[in-house]
Each structure stands twice: as structure tokens, then as C-alpha cells.
Amino acid sequence: MPQGGTGLLDPPVKPGRGGTFVTKKQKRMLARILVSGALLVIAALLPAEGWIRRLVFLVPYVVIGWDVLWRAVRNIAHGQVFDENFLMTIATLGAMATGEYPEGVAVMLFYQVGELFQGYAVGRSRRSIAKLMDIRPDYANREADGQLIQVDPEEVAIGEVIVIKPGERIPLDGVVRGGRSTVDTAALTGESLPREVEPGDDVISGCINQSGALRVQVTRAFGESTVAKILNLMENSSAKKARAENFITRFAKVYTPVVVIGAALLAVIPPLFFSGEWAEWIHRALIFLVISCPCALVISVPLSFFGGIGGASKAGVLIKGGNYLEALARVETVVFDKTGTLTKGVFNVTVIHPDTVSEAQLLEIAALAECDSDHPVSRSLRETYGKAIGRGRIGRVEELAGRGVRAEVDGRTVCVGNDKLMEEVGVAWHPCHRVGTTVHVAVDGVYAGHLVISDEVKPDAAQAIEALRREGVRRTVMLTGDAKAVGESVAKALGVDEVHAELLPADKVDQVEALLTQKSPKGTLAFVGDGINDAPVLSRADVGIAMGGMGSDAAIEAADIVLMDDKPSKIAEAVEISRKTLRIVRQNIVFALAVKALVLLLGAAGLANMWEAVFADVGVSVLAILNAMRAMRK
């Protein structure tokens, strides 16, 4: 659209009391439209002739169109000739020059009405994004000498304790150390039901503390906090255009000069070679120019993608760009990591089977060896052990990706991990008949026994798989590093089509590579994961989807789409939103091109007047924008 219009990348404007986005600039434009419209009516009623009539119509024309004229001149000076400002300037000035004063003013007036409507529509499409922008906290309450001091959240260091009063926004990610309350997470997750928190629970920035005061120990600096990352994702989302957006941009660059040349030929050839009247063919050429403005395409297509991203954000799904929204609409294979994605990632030790030591000793050895690991299995071993870890008993610790850990405990070499680690160190082990993740323990090359740790499936995991099938996803796959029996048990319970177990991180990449070769040429593959070892797979997939609430920083950074509430059922909702958005984009492209082609032919044949030309430009733009705004609805 014209350079001075409200752009999709302009800063969001906070809504007024009515909840609508109206800027001062838009209010001034509305006033100009009303004044120009009134002056146009007066000019049409005045019995003026000759130069006086021209002057009378020139007043409302200048009132409503001076900025379009200025932008056309400025853009020509900068080498940008063929744009909407140029088309409107040539068409309206030509109409005025040929004595069609009312039409010249009316075309510019309706064009500015369309611009005003576009600005309002863009503001509406930004509403959910603007709400996200409002989640940035203004201050944090730091304790000092028994007093609460308001400081910039960026000044609070990791480990400090802050106080969040009822009604205040949580400024930084942290762990509750005192107090109980309910937390409103709707701005981030789209969930209206508040979440109860108590000492030991994690809280994330951007949520609102509702009922009680909380003392929170900060675990992340502001720059690394959830709210900062969300703002960064949304601010950069418009920079990554979908193929349809890039097509329209390229199309407009070719289309506009072609129609300008076509209009010039239409004005010149019939009078020169076929004895046509100059005034008649120039008028047809001007109508041709008004019809040809690509406004409907240039604004409605990116607005549709922007609205789709905004609609997804309302549901707690952050999409990093229109290209990912478009890719998600074509997804036919969805690959899941298991732990933390389809399951809660909250492990409990359910079985302790010692061989050469007691149960208590087996648990103690495993907990000590796993003391430095942040893996969910390691945390569950330490929590079950429940005693303080004597660091003096632990020497060098080596974490072995996808297998376990090797550590020195009380001067002995302890290996704790899966079957592959036992095979690697040459220890004779035996499987367990209980379903779950089996953790084997070996001390100085001797098998000491094993523990079984079970994970709990997420409540909506089965629903997520079924919803994806309803959305037309042909294949669901689960990849896991767990034992085959565990993986198959979970896959059967959830209805996943196929499962590949006992995989190292590199094996997951290989599996995704193989699956990518099996999809159709136009289809895409999405991978859903949450752990740091999922980052390579997230990057390799056509669409990487990360769990944002509990997922690792590396996974969120590598992903194209982030689920803020860790619910796999949101994937199907995101697919539905993306497909709806693509349908709207296609509708607008076909509708705009079809109407313009028809009216262009009618205009060239002399069967369409300037008012019909205005409909083909402004009317089609307004209808396309209205259709694009449907993408914002969940």
C-alpha cells in the first residue's frame, strides 16, 4: 500500500476505552475525509462553470489527496515510480484535466477511505500481538532493609528474591520460595483457568499474580526470561514471509509497470491508428489505471498471515513467521519426542532390583553418580534418595549422551545408564520385566542391579493424536531413547502409528532424515520436542515445534513454533489455524485477480465507468481485508 499508510510492521497502538485501535493519524484522516466529502457535495451543487468550477473541485481534491501527490513525487525522486501513489496521481489528475472533476475527487476520496479502513484493519489484526507486547513488566519489587523497592527487571540478578503482590505481573522467571497464590497465565498460554502455585513451583514472567503475595527466587535474567523471548519472537515474526507473500511482492513489481504501459498504449494507439477520439481513450486509460491498483493483493495477503499469527498467539501458540504458518498448513507427518512432549517428564522410581548390594545402597550409588545431571531421570533418582549429596564422595563425572553417566564415587568407577552403556563397558546385565525406563548400575565393572523409573502420559496426548488425524495428518511417529518395551507401551496407549526406541540424539536425526524422504513432494514433516538433545532434530524438520513452558532454551531457539502451555493438543489447533489462513489467502488472490481482470476488460472496452473502477480498486480491497480479518478468529 502507499508509503504513508499504516504498515504491518508499525509499532502497535494501545487501544482506547472502546478497545479499538485508532491513531491520531487515522483521526486526522477521518476528519479530512469528512471535510473533503462535504466540499465535494457543495462543489457539485454550485452552478459554477469554466475555471471557477475547476477551482471549486480542486479544493476538496487537495484536502483529500495532497499526501498521495507528495508521496508520488517523493518516490519518483527516489527511483520508485510504479506504485499505488503514482497510479492514483496519474488517474485523478488525468480525470481533472479532461473535465471529469467529480470523478477525480471521488476516486481520491474513496481511495483514502480504503486506506483508513486498511489502517483500522491492521490495528485490529495487531490486537493479540499488542496484548503480548503489554506483558512486558515495568518493574520488580526487590527486598532491601525490610522495604520493597521498585527496580527495572533488568537490574535483578539470578538468585535474588523478589516479591510479587496480588494483581502484579510476574517480572522474571523463578521458583516460589514463600506464599501461595493463583496465577493467570492467559496472556501466554491462552488458558483462562488460573494455575495454583506454592513453594517449590516454577513461575514464568508475563503471568499475573492474582490472590496472594509471592516471594520468588529468580532463576533467569530478564534477557533470558520467558517474556523477553516471547516479545523477541513476535517482533521478528513478520520478517519471515511465506511463499505467497513473496509471490505477491514480486507480482506487484511486475504487474504495476505492465498495467501503466498498457494504459498508455490504450490511450495512444486507438486515436493514432484507428481514428479514435483522444478524450474518450484517455478517459478509458485513466479508468484502466484506477482498476489496476494491486491494493487488495498487496495488503490482504500479508494481513491474512499476520492475522493467522495473531489468532494462533491467542491460543498460546507462537509462530515465528508466515513461512512456518504456510509449512504447517501442508503437514502430513508429525514426529514426536516422548519424554516431556507426550509424557509429563515427571519420573518416579517405581522398582528397585539390587543384585550385589542392598536396595538402599543401590539407590544411593545411583543418586550420587547422577548428582550433576539435569536429566528428568537423574532428578527422580535424587528426589527418591531424599538426602543431602556429599560432594566430597564424588570425583570426576562424565555425562554420556543418550546412554547415561560415568562417575567416581568413593574412589570407585560407577556407571549408571541404559542397556547400551552396559554393553559399552562390558557388564553382564539382565532386563527387567516391569514396564518403564530401566536404569542399570555397575560398580567397578560389576553389575549392581537396576531401578525402574516410570513417566506419566500427558492427559491430552491421546486427544492430540486423534485431533491430528481429523486434521488430515497421515502419519504420527514417536522417537525415544527409552527401551523398546516402554516406547511401544506408550505408543499403543496413545494410538501413535509407529515408534522407534533406544535412539541416541544422532539416531533421531537419522530417523527424521529417513521420514523426510518418504513424504510427498508438497507435504511437510513436523517434529515436536522439548529437550536440549532435540535441537538438532527441530532444526532439521520442515517445521520444528517446541514445548515453551517447560522446554529447554535450546529447543525453543531451534524451533519454528512454540507451544506456551506444553499441551500437545495445541498442535492440531495450530494446524487448523494455518490451513484456515491459507484458504483465506487463496480466496483473496483468486477474488481480487478475477474481479480486476473482468473490470479491466470492461474498462478497456468502454463498458465500465470511473465509479465501477473505484469498486474494482477500493471495493475489492475492503472485501479482501474483511476476509483477511477472519484469520484472527480462533
Amino acid at 272: L
Beta strands in 496-587, from DSSP E residues, in sequence order: 498-500, 524-529, 543-547, 561-563
Instruction: Residue 102: count other Cβ atoms within 10 Å of its Cβ.
Output: 17
C-alpha cell at 513: 532424515
Instruction: Residue 349: count other Cβ atoms within 10 Å of its Cβ.
Output: 21
The phi and psi torsions of 562 (rounded to 5 degrees) equal -125, 130
Reduce the DSSP state of residue 89 to 3 states and report it.
Answer: helix
Reduce the DSSP state of residue 427 to 3 states and report it.
Answer: coil
**CA nearest to 98, candidates 110, 107, 111:** 107
What does the chain come to in residues?
634
Query: 337, 534, 560, 566: which is the annotated catalytic residue?
Result: 337
**CA nearest to 207, candidates 199, 461, 216:** 216
| Cross-strand bridge partners of residue 454 | 348
User: Residue 470, exposed/middle/buried by CB under 10 A (0-12, 13-18, 19+)?
Assistant: exposed
Q: Are 440 and 422 in contact (CB under 8 A)?
A: yes
CA distance 95 to 97: 5
CA distance 468 to 573: 9
CA distance 405 to 258: 67
Amino acid at 450: H
**Matching residue, cell 514480486:** 250
565 catalytically annotated: no
List active site positions: 337
